[in-house]
């Protein structure tokens, strides 16, 4: 049997093809993030807030929607990770409902920016589902509301 390609030629071709494939995938799906990082380095003074005049002439600082949303999104991910970890630890320690609620309240107080945000209703539902799934404890609406106050 005659071999037309050597192993080195085959590996070189495969690596080149994979590099080309991943380059196309990265540019197709992560284009916005790549350009945002590239262009944000060129700015001398990047601020997330702008001065706006209100109806009565007072100045107020208003953050841009995208920057706030990105910041809150990472905060939500951190909160969800800590919540699941906390519930798993409390379940392993066989804690009672009162102790779980007290620990959850401390966690919520740690993330003050989430109170009143667009993510709060979803987080309340997640907390109800996770406490029931992980700990086997059902929290009613009043108990969940009291955690966020």
Residues 79 and 142 in one domain: yes
Contact (CB, 8 A) for 100 and 87: yes
Residue span of the structural domain in which 20 resides: 7-38
Instruction: Report the alpha-carbon distance of residue 39 to residue 50 in Å, rounded.
Output: 19
pLDDT tens digits along 94-140: 888 888 888 888 988 888 888 888 888 888 888 889 888 888 888 88
pLDDT tens digits along 20-49: 999 999 888 888 877 776 665 555 444 444
Instruction: Report the alpha-carbon distance of residue 45 to residue 62 in Å, rounded.
Output: 17
Residues 80 and 136 in one domain: yes
pLDDT tens digits along 77-88: 888 888 898 888
Question: Which of these ranges, 18-22, 36-40, 64-68, 87-91, has the smallest mean pLDDT?
Answer: 64-68
Q: Supply the pLDDT for residue 117.
A: 84
Residues 94 and 31 in one domain: no
On the question of pLDDT at 51 being above 50, the answer is no
Residue 85 maps to a domain: yes
- Nearest to 100, CA basis, from 112, 111, 110, 89: 89
Domain count, the chain: 2
């Amino acid at each position: 049997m005659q071999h037309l390609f050597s192993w080195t030629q085959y590996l070189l071709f495969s690596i080149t093809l994979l590099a080309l494939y991943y380059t196309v995938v990265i540019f197709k799906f992560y284009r916005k993030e790549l350009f945002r990082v590239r262009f944000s380095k060129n700015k001398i003074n990047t601020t997330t807030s702008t001065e706006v005049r209100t109806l009565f002439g007072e100045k107020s600082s208003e953050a841009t929607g995208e920057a706030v949303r990105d910041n809150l999104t990472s905060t939500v991910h951190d909160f969800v990770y800590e919540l699941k970890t906390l519930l798993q630890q409390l379940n392993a320690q066989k804690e009672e409902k009162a102790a779980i609620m007290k620990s959850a309240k401390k966690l919520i107080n740690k993330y003050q920016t989430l109170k009143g945000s667009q993510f709060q209703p979803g987080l309340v539902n997640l907390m109800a589902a996770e406490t029931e799934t992980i700990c086997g404890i059902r929290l009613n609406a009043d108990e969940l509301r009291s955690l966020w106050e």
